[in-house]
A = this chain, B = another copy of it.
Amino acid sequence: MTISTPGVTLGVVGGGQLGRMLAEAAAPLGVDLVVTDPSDPCPAAPVASDALVGDFDEASTVRAVAERADFLTFEIELTDPDVLERVAAETGTPVHPKPDTLRLIQDKLVQKERLGEAGVPVPAFRQVDDEDDLRAAGEELGYPLMLKAREGGYDGRGNVPVDAPDDVTAALDAIEGPAMAEEMIDFERELAVMGCLGDGERDTFPVTETIHREEILRESVSPARADEGVRERAREVAIDVLDAMEGRGVYGIELFETTDGEILLNEIAPRPHNSGHWTIEGCHTSQFEQHVRAVTGRALGTTDRRAPTVSANVLGDVDDRQPATLSGEESVFETPRAHLHWYGKQDVYRLRKMGHITLVGDGESTADLLADVRDLRDGLTFEN
C-alpha cells in the first residue's frame, strides 16, 4: 500500500462520540473521515472531513458516503444491514464488519443461538413470543430472569427484569415486540474484551473490568481485578467470538464472570465500544486507531497496555433536556495523568453519555485509581 493526499477516505455510518474518536485517531494515519448522522452538527462533524445529515438507515446518505469512501464502516448498530449490503455492492466500496455479522448481532436471540452453536458459553435463554413462552421460560430458567427485546436495545433500554410470574404481562407490554428470556446471571464482576480482526490476523486488548449501574457503563478498570486464569479464559472466549464474526474491525465483547469463576458471553458490539475508551491513553494503540487500521486493511497495532488505566463516564445529571454546560472540570485538567474527553453534544439529559475521564496509573493500586477517577467524575455537574 501507499499513503498519499487525499488519502484513504473512511465512510462511517454514525457520527457520535465513537465517530469523533475515530476521526481523532484517523488523521495521523492520513485517513479522512466522512460520516453520516441524523444530528446536525453531530459530535464527529468538527473533526470529520464532511458530515452528511441522514438517518442511520437512510439509503441515499449511506450511498453518498460510500461513493466518496474507499472503505465503509459503522459506529452504531442502528444502521440497516440490507442498506449496507446493497450500497457496498452497487458502489464497490467494501464494508467492514460484514452486514451478515451486523444482522447476527442485531437480533439478540440469533446472536445467542449462533454463538452457542459455535461453542461460546452463553447464559440459558428462550425465545419469547407471548405470555405463555415467558411463563414457560420462568419455570425452566427460574425467577428472576431478564426479558430482552430482540432488537434495538442499548444502554439497558429494552431489558426488563422479571421477578415473578405476576410481572409477565407488564414486562411484555414494556418490550412491545419479539423478545427473549435469559437466566439472571449471578456474576462476580462484568468483563469486556475488545477483539480485533485484521487482514488475516486477530488480536485482543487486555481484559477490562466494567462496572455498570442501571445497566449503563459507569467505570472501566484495566487490568480487570480478576484472577489470571479468569482473564485468560475471558480472552479465549473472546477469540471464539471473533471466529464467529465476519469482516475486519474492532468488536466489543461483554462478558460475565460468574461467582463460580466461569465466563459467559453477555453481548457483542461490532464496533469500538465504551469499555475500550481507556485504550486511548492506556495502550500503545487505541481501539479507535485499531478499528481504522483494520477496516482500511492496515496491519493491526500492538494491543499492549502502557500502564494500569481506569476510566469513568461523564453522564447527564439533569432531569430535563437542556443545553449542556459542564462545570467542575478544572480539577480534571489539574490532575496529572487525567484526561478529559468531551463528546461535543449540544444537549444534555439524564444519563446521556457526554464524555469520559481516563486516569493513567503511576504505581497506585487499581482500587485507588478507580477511587480517584470517581472523585473527579463526581466533581462534575451539568446543573447550573
Q: Is the CB of A4 within 8 A of B325?
A: yes
Q: Is the CB of B3 within 8 A of A334?
A: no
Task: Check: A324 CB closer than 8 A to any chain B CB.
Answer: yes
Q: Is the CB of B301 within 8 A of A5?
A: no
Which residues of chain A from 46 to 105 have any CB-CB distance to chain B below 8 Å in the complex? 46-49
Task: Check: A337 CB closer than 8 A to any chain B CB.
Answer: yes
Task: Check: A7 CB closer than 8 A to any chain B CB.
Answer: yes
Q: Is the CB of B299 within 8 A of A329?
A: no
Q: Is the CB of B341 within 8 A of A1?
A: no
Q: Is the CB of B329 within 8 A of A2?
A: yes
Q: How far in angstroms is the closest Cβ of chain B from A2?
A: 5
**A28: which of B2, B306, B342 is its contact (CB, 8 Å)?**
B342
Task: Check: A293 CB closer than 8 A to any chain B CB.
Answer: yes
**A284: which of B327, B334, B337 is its contact (CB, 8 Å)?**
B337
Q: Is the CB of A27 within 8 A of B24?
A: yes
What 1/0 mask marks residues of chain A from 282 to 323 whose CB sits below 8 Å from any chain B CB?
001000000001000011011010110000000000000001
CB nearest to A31 among chain B residues = B342
**A3: which of B49, B304, B342 is its contact (CB, 8 Å)?**
B342
Size category of the A interface is 35 or more
Task: Check: A178 CB closer than 8 A to any chain B CB.
Answer: no
Task: Check: A374 CB closer than 8 A to any chain B CB.
Answer: no
Task: Check: A119 CB closer than 8 A to any chain B CB.
Answer: no
Q: How far in angstroms is the closest Cβ of chain B from A108?
A: 32
Q: Is the CB of B330 within 8 A of A1?
A: yes
Q: Using Cβ atoms and an 8 Å threshold, which residues of chain B touch A219?
A: none
Task: Check: A352 CB closer than 8 A to any chain B CB.
Answer: no
Given the interface contacts A30-B344, A306-B306, A342-B30, does A3 sit within 8 Å of B329 by beta carbon?
Answer: yes
Task: Check: A254 CB closer than 8 A to any chain B CB.
Answer: no
Task: Check: A351 CB closer than 8 A to any chain B CB.
Answer: no
Q: How far in angstroms is the closest Cβ of chain B from A334?
A: 5
Q: How far in angstroms is the closest Cβ of chain B from A326?
A: 4
Task: Check: A20 CB closer than 8 A to any chain B CB.
Answer: yes
Given the interface contacts A339-B28, A344-B30, does A3 sit within 8 Å of B301 by beta carbon?
Answer: no
Task: Check: A345 CB closer than 8 A to any chain B CB.
Answer: yes
Q: Is the CB of A1 within 8 A of B301?
A: no
Task: Check: A13 CB closer than 8 A to any chain B CB.
Answer: no
Which residues of chain A from 19 to 56 have any CB-CB distance to chain B below 8 Å in the complex? 20-21, 23-24, 27-30, 32-33, 46-49
| Docked complex Cα distance between A322 and B323 (Å) | 48
| Docked complex Cα distance between A164 and B144 (Å) | 93
Q: Is the CB of B298 within 8 A of A333?
A: yes
Given the interface contacts A3-B342, A29-B340, does A360 sit within 8 Å of B284 by beta carbon?
Answer: yes
Cβ contacts A to B, 8 pairs, < 8 Å = A2-B325, A2-B326, A6-B346, A28-B342, A299-B333, A299-B334, A301-B333, A304-B336
Closest 6 A-B residue pairs measured CB to CB?
A30-B342, A302-B336, A299-B333, A4-B325, A3-B326, A299-B334
A interface with B by C-beta (< 8 Å): 1-7, 20-21, 23-24, 27-30, 32-33, 46-49, 281, 284, 293, 298-299, 301-302, 304, 306-307, 323-327, 329-330, 333-334, 336-337, 339-342, 344-346, 355, 360
